[in-house]
Structure 1
């Protein structure tokens, strides 16, 4: 694998820095990357990792995916927490964010100090942690969200920070060019984050109806047709209302802009029933 992605170069340098301090831990790797983004603004100079609250604080699926790739290329060990000789040679040839990484790791004597700091400074990322006790309170209500432009980590973070406990996928076909948002894989990610997933293809828009949408007028014609079809789908709308009255749900589709997505019509229906709907 040619390391064309700068984030992977940063990952190697972080592993090397931790290794030089005698720390070999994937948890420490993730926390160091998290602090690089939050306090050294690594995302401003590198297309970087996103994070969401998980079982041991801030977590990144993309980081773990990159660790697997680096292991497959023989740059890190099978435990995915230390560089091999090949990895050390590669890391020594790089200087990306080197000063920031050195300064960050110099602030902590060990992994526990880093973990304690992250948990203290960023409590919003501990809400799913198994290392901190939490009083769980069930939120209720309705939201909508589009995953366009999001990676799986930033998507999950938005859901968790907004206390979503169920995602209702209103795509006609739960397929995506982004593997993470294909129905079965997405359900796995959501369930791991303690978020339920339901696919309601009956509330989707047929692919032929989405063809040749070139103007605002085209979209408005589509949404008018969709709006007129909703009375035939009442049982699915009733299910959404029932779920939102018992937990905090998010209606999911692709488009970032809700005004360009049919979920806006479902949201209008819910609002007309007297409920507030937040577009995330």
Structure 2
């Protein structure tokens, strides 16, 4: 380990390194995801959040932090019999004690699925672990989120982790995410265009970016009061007739995908230009809309 580096930068990374240190020997990346997941859920901890992926609960932030720890020399990543295995290196004063489950592999997967079935709804391997009535219960659970009513949602990611954001989409059965930011770049992990598209696709959500419906950043720099926002949105609304082909594109996407979400940064839709787009479409096309 580089002697100038004593510990990871962020508290959650120090937690993760402590956790890996307390696992005897190496652990597969898949098992580590499940072990941290069970710890987060049982201890009501919030270092990491998870989404239901094809192998059950998964945290993209955790994977990112593992990559950072590996680059910093805190952990090693080896390939053993087709599996990625993580092992902590050197000494690290943990300051924590974790009750880490003893199960690994299939037994660990079964435990995670049974205790938290929501995180199995996108799993492609449930039938490897369960049979009969128990398997049918998992299949019925997947249908809980299969809503079919046509809805135009709006959503902002301010104050949300990428996992919390994606979970909201999943729980509302959003099938397409329509990004209406002018510049889809974010310092917040997971919300820049390429990464967001990749993460959404892992749970079967399409991603489309329509930059022509965004607002130039220079028009937002001087916003300080509610009146400033009001004038900005009034001016933006006047431009909508010139953006008709992009608004028609949203309508087409809604018709094709049934449940789509307009996304931007601000948590409250009335503080974001997406509500102007939404109001226009509701008014001109009798679209049903919900803010999530």
Q: TM-score range by the shorter chain?
A: 0.7 to 0.9
Pairing partner for 2:260 from 222, 231, 249: 249
Q: In the alignment, which residue of structure 2 is the partner of 1:147?
A: 157
Pairing partner for 2:16 from 8, 11, 18: 11
Pairing partner for 1:177 from 179, 184, 187: 187
Q: In the alignment, which residue of structure 1 is the partner of 2:277?
A: 266
Q: Please identify runs of 4+ aligned residues in structure 1 that moved more than 4 A.
A: 133-138
Q: In the alignment, which residue of structure 1 is the partner of 2:52?
A: 53
In the TM superposition, residue 132 of structure 1 has moved relative to its aligned partner by 2.4
Change (3 A) 1:266 1:10: same
Change (3 A) 1:253 1:6: same
Q: Per-residue CA shift, 1:241-270, capped at 9, x if unaligned? A: 222233211101111111110001111123
Task: Say if 2:194 is the partner of 1:189.
Answer: no
Q: In the alignment, which residue of structure 1 is the partner of 2:119?
A: 125
In the TM superposition, residue 218 of structure 1 has moved relative to its aligned partner by 1.0
In the TM superposition, residue 84 of structure 1 has moved relative to its aligned partner by 4.2
In the TM superposition, residue 138 of structure 1 has moved relative to its aligned partner by 7.2
Task: Say if 2:207 is the partner of 1:203.
Answer: no
Task: Say if 2:107 is the partner of 1:113.
Answer: yes
Change (3 A) 1:179 1:84: closer
Change (3 A) 1:262 1:59: same
Q: Per-residue CA shift, 1:10-47, capped at 9, x if unaligned? A: 22233234436xx722122111211222221122xxxx
In terms of fraction of residues, the more strand-rich structure is 2
Change (3 A) 1:206 1:75: closer
For residues 172 and 24 of structure 1, the distance between their equivalents in structure 2, rounded to whole angstroms, comes to: 42
Structure 2 gap segments, 5+ residues each: 79-83, 128-138
Q: Per-residue CA shift, 1:42-81, capped at 9, x if unaligned? A: 22xxxx1111111111111111111122222333222363
Alpha carbons 2:76, 2:89 under 8 Å: kept: no
Alpha carbons 2:31, 2:104 under 8 Å: kept: no
Pairing partner for 2:174 from 152, 164, 167: 164
SS of the residue aligned with 2:190? helix
In the TM superposition, residue 157 of structure 1 has moved relative to its aligned partner by 2.1
SS of the residue aligned with 2:261? strand
For residues 186 and 82 of structure 1, the distance between their equivalents in structure 2, rounded to whole angstroms, comes to: 26
In the TM superposition, residue 141 of structure 1 has moved relative to its aligned partner by 2.1
Which range moves more in the overlay, 270-279 or 216-225? 270-279
For residues 171 and 159 of structure 2, the distance between their equivalents in structure 1, rounded to whole angstroms, comes to: 18
Q: In the alignment, which residue of structure 2 is the partner of 1:69?
A: 68
Structure 1 gap segments, 5+ residues each: none
Change (3 A) 1:94 1:194: same
In terms of fraction of residues, the more helix-rich structure is 1
For residues 87 and 189 of structure 2, the distance between their equivalents in structure 1, rounded to whole angstroms, comes to: 28
Alpha carbons 2:50, 2:59 under 8 Å: kept: yes
Change (3 A) 1:84 1:33: closer
Change (3 A) 1:35 1:64: same
Q: In the alignment, which residue of structure 1 is the partner of 2:244?
A: 234
Which range moves more in the overlay, 50-59 or 133-142? 133-142
TM-score, structure 2 as length reference: 0.82
TM-score, structure 1 as length reference: 0.85
SS of the residue aligned with 2:177? strand
Alpha carbons 1:190, 1:197 under 8 Å: kept: yes
